[in-house]
Structure 1
């Protein structure tokens, strides 16, 4: 009697890009510009992804900054038509949370924007001391 063994093998991503950036306003701006350039070169929709990158990079600079440590932007187009955006910073203990800001507050809406634009989003802890905030967009209708 023969036994068949079935394994799920993840295939390589269709496109992938990763970069380390300084945890500054300039680094956050560069994250958005690089995302727009790569997604455009890959022939993918840019607007929602660029906004998500801008919000996550800004949060990495404001809430995840550790002097001397960069944050990482990752863009991956997966088989099945999904774009995964990842921003990793060095403050794993500072987990993001959504909360309704005061009406007159000038900040505090970033994750609400990510939640509205992304099909899925979440946080992956580690390796210590890091955390990765990720969002996924379904590219096919």
Structure 2
């Protein structure tokens, strides 16, 4: 059995919970679920509804890698500090806090935003992180 998960989907608000569920079933990692949610939401916000993407989750030993490939090599994510009263702008900061490392790779006619995670939920390169999830 392969340890990889690959989903090809169109970015829509409904795709986010479906992808989270698939990652939960595949890995059982709340951290990976949260990162997938942030990557897809970022694509929805900056590329628009209906954009085709490929989500890949690889690895199960000590680490896992989450990748989201989209067809716009120019719209690169930028880590920035959100103002206290801002309603958005925290997704990449959350990804940065949860991931061991993350980055962007430009391909021919596409880009891939990726992150590497420890499979032990609650750990990041910054120490333990408490995850609070709602119903």
Judge conservation of contact 2:73–2:111 (CA < 8 Å) in 1: yes
Shift of 1:66: 7.1
TM score, norm. by length of structure 2:
0.80
Q: Where does structure 1 differ by over 2 angstroms across 4 or more consecutive aligned residues? A: 64-67, 138-141
Which is richer in strand?
A: 2
Judge conservation of contact 2:31–2:98 (CA < 8 Å) in 1: yes
| Aligned residue number for residue 131 of structure 1 | 111
Cα RMSD over matched residues? 2.1
Q: Does 1:98 align with 2:79?
A: yes
Shift of 1:65: 3.4
| Bigger-Rg structure (1/2) | 1
Aligned mate of 1:72, from 38, 54, 58: 54
Q: Does 1:22 align with 2:10?
A: yes
| Aligned residue number for residue 43 of structure 1 | none
What count of residue pairs does the alignment treat as equivalent? 121
Once the two structures are superposed, what CA deviation does each residue of 1:24-63 show, in whole Å capped at 9, x if it has no partner? 11112211111111113xxxxx111111111011111111
| Aligned residue number for residue 132 of structure 2 | none
Name whichever of 58-67 and 92-101 sits farther off: 58-67
Judge conservation of contact 2:10–2:49 (CA < 8 Å) in 1: no
TM score, norm. by length of structure 1:
0.77
Give structure 2 stretches of 5+ with no counterpart: 124-135
